[in-house]
């Protein structure tokens, strides 16, 4: 069963197009960085369990989440203070109703990669 799960994870990994966005040591735990890949603006977060990437554009009025406040696995938008779950992208508080898109991440060869 474990081998089958590992094979499925490898297949999913290979199905993505991976893009290096920063060095693995460029971001401290609890930090967020604005990065870009494939023409998309992304917010790259480093939490206790690793890196997470979301769209950097708030779904309320397009402020940058990478300028927001990170706490307990959430990011608070700097403009009207709506919050999002960093791991799932789910909107957690008004005025945000729609979640943000999330992206796969991995660390390889000393770089952080975002999968699309
Ligand atoms: S622009 Fe993000 S909460 Fe309004």
Q: Domain coordinates of the chain in residue numbers?
A: 18-115
Burial class of residue 90, CB neighbours in 10 A (0-12, 13-18, 19+): middle
Q: CB under 6 Å to ligand 1: residues?
A: 58, 60-61, 63, 77, 79-80, 82, 95-96
**Tens digit of each residue's pLDDT (9 = 90 or more) over 19-38:** 999 999 999 999 999 999 99
Q: What is the mean pLDDT of residues 106-116?
A: 96
Indicate if the pLDDT at residue 92 is higher than 80. yes
CATH of 18-115, picked from 3.30.465.10, 2.102.10.10, 3.30.565.10, 2.40.10.10, is 2.102.10.10
Q: How confident is the prediction for the chain on average, in pLDDT?
A: 93
What are residue 33's DSSP bridge partners? 44
The pLDDT value given to residue 11: 67
The alpha carbon dihedral of 52, 57, 58, 59 has a sign of negative
> In ligand 1, which atom is closest to the CA atom of 58?
2
Q: How many whole angstroms separate alpha carbon 56 and alpha carbon 108?
A: 23
**CA 83–ligand 1 middle distance (angstroms):** 9
DSSP characters for 43-94?
EEEEETTEEEEEESB-TTT--BGGGSEEETTEEE-TTT--EEETTT--B-ST
Q: What is the pTM of this model?
A: 0.90
pLDDT band with cut points at 50, 70 and 90 for residue 89? very high
Q: What is the mean pLDDT of residues 5-28?
A: 81
Q: How many whole angstroms separate alpha carbon 74 and alpha carbon 15?
A: 28
Best residue among 69, 93, 96 to mutate for probing ligand 1, ranked by most atoms within 8 Å of CB: 96
The residue nearest atom 4 of ligand 1, judged by CA position, is 80
């Amino acid at each position: 069963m474990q081998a089958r799960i590992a094979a499925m994870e490898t297949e999913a990994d290979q199905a993505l197009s991976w893009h290096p966005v920063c060095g693995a040591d460029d971001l401290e735990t609890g930090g967020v960085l604005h990065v870009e890949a494939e023409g998309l603006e992304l917010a790259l977060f480093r939490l206790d369990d690793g890196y997470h990437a979301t769209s950097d554009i708030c779904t309320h009025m397009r402020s940058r989440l990478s300028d927001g406040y990170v706490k307990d696995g959430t990011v608070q938008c700097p403009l009207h203070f709506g919050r999002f779950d960093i791991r799932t992208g789910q909107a957690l508080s008004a005025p945000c109703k729609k979640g943000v898109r999330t992206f796969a991440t991995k660390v390889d060869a000393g770089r952080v990669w975002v999968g699309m």
